[in-house]
Amino acid sequence: MCAERMQRILIACVLGIIMGLFATATAGTMQMQIAVLAQTFIIIMMLVWAFTNFCPSLWFFKKVFPPCPWENR
């Protein structure tokens, strides 16, 4: 598994968990607040990545996993 692919899988899993929290929560519950905070965190990280071209999770995964083959072209 390569770094970029692992990062995309992580984002998909986190967004899936958030969607599940939203689906099972009722308005004003702690579950809803956790879902909103997690969604806000993902949005902020995507904006940081868009404006600075730096993604902390991708930076970490590149230290743990090898780069994807399409990175070597």
Number of domains in the chain: 1
The per-residue DSSP string of 50-73 comes to HHHS--HHHHHHHHHSPPPGGGG-
- Across 2-6, 26-30, 38-42, 64-68, least confident range: 26-30
pLDDT digits (tens, 9 = 90+) for 14-37: 999 999 988 988 877 888 999 999
- Kindly report the pTM of this predicted structure: 0.78
Question: In this structure, which amino acid lies at residue 12?
Answer: A
Find out whether 14 and 38 touch, Cβ atoms under 8 Å.
Answer: yes
Enumerate residues 6+ apart whose C-beta is below 8 A from 54. Answer: 48
| d(C-alpha 42, C-alpha 40), whole Å | 5
> Residue 9's domain spans which residues?
3-72
